[in-house]
Structure 1
Amino acid sequence: MYNAPRTLSASTAEIIGYSEWRPTGCASPLVWRGDDIGLGDKPAIIHLVDNSGCLRSHTVAETLALRGSVDAYGLGRVVSALRLFAGTGELHPDDLAAWREVEDEFPVIELCGRDL
């Protein structure tokens, strides 16, 4: 039996918003939109858009905790920037600590050499 959604009125809801059903289990529900990794004296902020189209701002630690949900391009961009700025000493200490906790999960793979 089909259960129709309830209609809310202004008297029964504090916030009335638009809702859309989308399939769950998408491969990359968070899409990278930008960041300021290594570009200041404050902890970096990484901007990700969720499946609802909402822009979400996260710290490096939060983004790395969500790494399984971030699109491949965006995660690659974040990891590359963290690796670069960790090597030059330009990461904020909080960002560096978050990166050091997970950097072994992102090995550098040599693509050229004798054994190819």
Structure 2
Amino acid sequence: MAIRRLHSEPRYSEIVIHNGTVHLGGQLADDLSGDIRQQTRETLANIDRLLAEAGTDKTRILSTTIYLRDIATDFAAMNEVWDAWVAPGASPARATVEARLYAPEVRVEMMVIAALP
């Protein structure tokens, strides 16, 4: 089965589709000056957009890995936004970890794996 790569650069692809599964590269907010709630909302909007481009949506997310710059400070607020966004009855498997992200202003990054319809 063929592998499709969308929005590819030398180091990564934003979307990789293979064998009925969509893998999104790490997604960030567009505006990194905002607080965790704003960055989480923008990150989730980018995930929605890329999943739609790949032909699926958030109801088909299988797993999500969330990286937080400061889990002690940002976990609760990120979860408030996440809980409002996640489709009822379609909660994916999920892990949340604290990580040093590529720039100090990045508060959250998410990787998603979803199924195609």
TM-score of the pair, normalised by structure 1: 0.27
Larger Rg: 1
From the two aligned structures, give the one with the greater strand fraction. 2
Highest relative contact order (Cα 8 Å, sep 6+), 1 or 2? 2
TM-score of the pair, normalised by structure 2: 0.27
